[in-house]
Amino acid sequence: MLDHISQRMIGYRIKAARESSNWSQQRLAEELGFKDRQTVSDLEKGKRALKPEELMRICASLDRDIEFFIDPFVIAGEGQFSWRADSALSQEELEDFELKAGKWIGILRWLRESKGRKPSALKYSLRISATSSYEDAQKGAESLVKELELGMFPGERLLESVENRLDIPVLHVDTIQGDGGEWISGAACSLRDLAVILINRNEPPGRQNWDLAHELFHILTWDAMTPDHRELKGFEMGLNARRMEQLADNFASALLMPESSVEKILDLDKVTEIDYLYEISSVFRVTPMAFSWRLFNLKIIDDLVRCELSARRQDLSEYSVPNLFSSNFMEMLQETLAHGDLSARKAAKTLGTNLRGLADLFKQYNLVVPFDL
């Protein structure tokens, strides 16, 4: 039962489950009948092998299913998340969803490793810290626009560049819906050997681009400024965010709407015309709210125009929701299933669907279904 997973990985999960239950090492040691907390510490560090009967007692004590500890795709205790989530979402709901999303990232990591996709020894980062100015964040973004050759309208090719140039996978996912709509916009996840961005595919396209740019900032500055586990969704250059989030917003704003691009395309004689500004925001592939704040901070429009433009909503009549996950992810999964390296049932369970749902996913990407229904 424990042979196919390392003791180090099991240790990560024991620690994660214990901390989630707000238990000390001493309390868990007493519950398991150990002499002292050092035995628990050794288990969590992978220094001591866990016996099957001890695993069963840990499951009962910490109220965890055994799969939590032995599923090879669980990343609890390894992956650090930063979520853009609504304040109405309870911590328990967020943690439950994190465990689910973690398995998507876990199987993605396993697929990459099985295909020989080893992480680069060089890790992209921004030279920005908590003491940096907003101008520093904007300069960093505009330098990245040039380095990645994102062109005049970076939103058109940002997703492709993040995945292919920076080697940061981006997964489009379904999250949690509440009374007021979508409760999670996206997330950044950092592991020792991989960084992943999750985007809520049901959000408006301008919001998805913004979240991608915002989470990219967190990935590129994670070592210098580890973000909070949760930040409130819905602020695009707002005034209520913490400094780290304001740095991220300034970065996202300049990345998607470089000052030089704004100056080239904008007709200054029309900057009080809301319909005109709305059309330009669509060209940049951002929300009217994000565009309004960018123009306001560049001192191109006044606060009255900013408020009016912010109130506009994107026209979604011709918008098509992206397919779940990503083409790279589904292509790797198809090849793995075709070669028999993973069962279709295990893959379907990990992705939160059944065999028919998994088959439909492959069809959406025009991929041959690699198993019989």
Cβ-proximal residues to 365 (8 Å cutoff; 6+ apart), any chain: 323, 327, 330, 331
Instruction: Give 303-328 as a DSSP string.
Output: HHHHHHHHT-----TT--PPPSB-HH
Q: Across 191-271, where does the E strand assignment appear?
A: 195-200, 230-232
Residue 281 has what pLDDT? 96
Identify the weakest region by mean pLDDT among 63-67, 86-90, 139-143, 183-187: 86-90
Mean pLDDT of 189-194: 92
Closest CA to 42 of 14, 75, 21: 14
Residue 241 has what pLDDT? 56
pLDDT beyond 60 at 236: no
pLDDT beyond 50 at 240: no
Residue 124 has what pLDDT? 78
Pairwise CA distance, residues 237 & 132, whole Å: 17
pLDDT beyond 90 at 121: no
Helix (H, G, I), strand (E, B) or coil at 207: helix
Band (pLDDT 50/70/90 cuts) for residue 122 is low
Band (pLDDT 50/70/90 cuts) for residue 214 is very high
pLDDT beyond 50 at 225: yes
Between 161 and 6, whose confidence is greater? 161
Mean pLDDT of 199-206: 93
Indicate the burial class of 60 (C-beta count within 10 angstroms; 0-12, 13-18, 19 or more).
exposed
Pairwise CA distance, residues 166 & 145, whole Å: 13
Identify the weakest region by mean pLDDT among 124-128, 141-145, 211-215, 331-335: 124-128
Mean pLDDT of 38-55: 90
- Residue 115 is given by DSSP the state T
Identify the weakest region by mean pLDDT among 27-41, 153-167, 254-268, 272-286: 27-41
Pairwise CA distance, residues 204 & 236, whole Å: 14
Question: In the chain, what percentage of residues exceed pLDDT 70?
Answer: 94
- Most confident listed range (113-122, 227-236, 307-316): 307-316
Mean predicted lDDT score pLDDT of the chain: 91
Query: How does pLDDT run across 49-73, given as a tens digit for each residue?
Result: 888 899 999 999 999 999 999 899 9
Superfamily in which the 1-71 domain is placed by CATH: lambda repressor-like DNA-binding domains (1.10.260.40)
Pairwise CA distance, residues 86 & 184, whole Å: 6
Query: How does pLDDT run across 264-294, given as a tens digit for each residue?
Result: 999 999 999 999 999 999 999 999 999 999 9
Mean pLDDT of 255-271: 96
Domain extent listing, the chain: 1-71, 327-365
List C-alpha distances in Å: 93 to 3, 88, 138: 32, 10, 35
List C-alpha distances in Å: 294 to 75, 237, 262, 284, 291: 37, 8, 9, 11, 5
